[in-house]
């Protein structure tokens, strides 16, 4: 039976664990397409261009933005991020489920562009756990961590725009919930009508 693909957005504050959870979900679901975002942020150690992000300089990013190549784009903590249109459209056109992990404003813009988007908010168990995770990760300096925590506080107020909330306290439990959401969404009657 043919069914419409699921567009799964996993959003929530930086440090909530989006990257690890989505990585693991993709391991469980190798057919799931993943939208690699474009960014002007500097590459972190271990990040690979075209795998973790398409790393662009500002000029190149602006050029693509002006050409309408992003479904949405946002400035976050001083850098630009954007969701490439062509990849998402071709995945959906070919019936593939797709996952992406924009911050909350980007998630809202995706929902506007694709109203059938399934919106999952990933929440850290508490603000102090979030602070601890960002510090332990050591990918940002103290100012950048403070900025990300302030953004996280604002983001938490946006929960009403989401369909599901997953608390990432115990990783395996959060993964199970995220996977269950994807599986349940695939079986909805509206996807086969
Ligand atoms: P990071 O610099 O930690 O990789 O990402 C910073 C924030 O930007 C995260 O909350 C991440 O989810 C978000 N982000 C990544 N790609 C995109 C995108 O294409 N669009 C938007 N709006 N946010 C993104």
Domains and CATH numbers, the chain: 7-188 (3.40.50.300)
185 alpha carbon – ligand 1 mean position (Å): 24
pLDDT tens digits for range 88-111: 999 999 999 999 999 999 999 999
Report the candidate in 124, 99, 126, 112 with the shortest Cα–Cα distance to residue 161: 112
74-95 mean pLDDT: 96
* pTM summary value: 0.91
Q: What 8-state DSSP symbol labels residue 144? A: H
- The DSSP 8-state label assigned to residue 38 in this structure reads E
Residue nearest to atom 15 of ligand 1 (CA): 102
- Residue 19 contacts by C-beta under 8 Å, 6 or more apart in sequence? 101
**Residue of the nearest CA to atom 8 in ligand 1?**
103
């Amino acid at each position: 039976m043919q069914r419409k693909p699921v567009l799964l957005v996993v959003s929530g504050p930086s440090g909530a664990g989006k990257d690890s959870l989505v990585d693991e979900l993709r391991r469980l679901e190798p057919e799931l397409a993943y939208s690699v975002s474009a960014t002007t942020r500097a590459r972190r150690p271990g990040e690979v261009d075209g795998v973790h992000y398409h790393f662009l300089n500002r000029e190149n990013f602006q050029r693509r933005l002006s050409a309408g190549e992003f479904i949405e784009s946002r400035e976050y903590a001083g850098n630009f991020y954007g969701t490439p249109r062509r990849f998402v459209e071709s995945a959906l056109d070919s019936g593939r489920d797709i996952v992406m992990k924009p911050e909350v404003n980007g998630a809202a813009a995706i929902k506007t562009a694709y109203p059938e988007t399934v919106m999952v908010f990933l929440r850290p168990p508490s603000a102090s756990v979030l602070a601890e995770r960002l510090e332990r990760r050591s990918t940002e300096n103290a100012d950048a961590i403070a900025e990300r925590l302030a953004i996280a506080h604002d983001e938490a107020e946006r929960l009403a725009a989401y369909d599901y909330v997953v608390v990432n306290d115990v990783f395996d439990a959060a993964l199970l919930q995220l996977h269950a959401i994807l599986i349940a969404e695939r079986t909805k009657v509206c996807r086969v009508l």
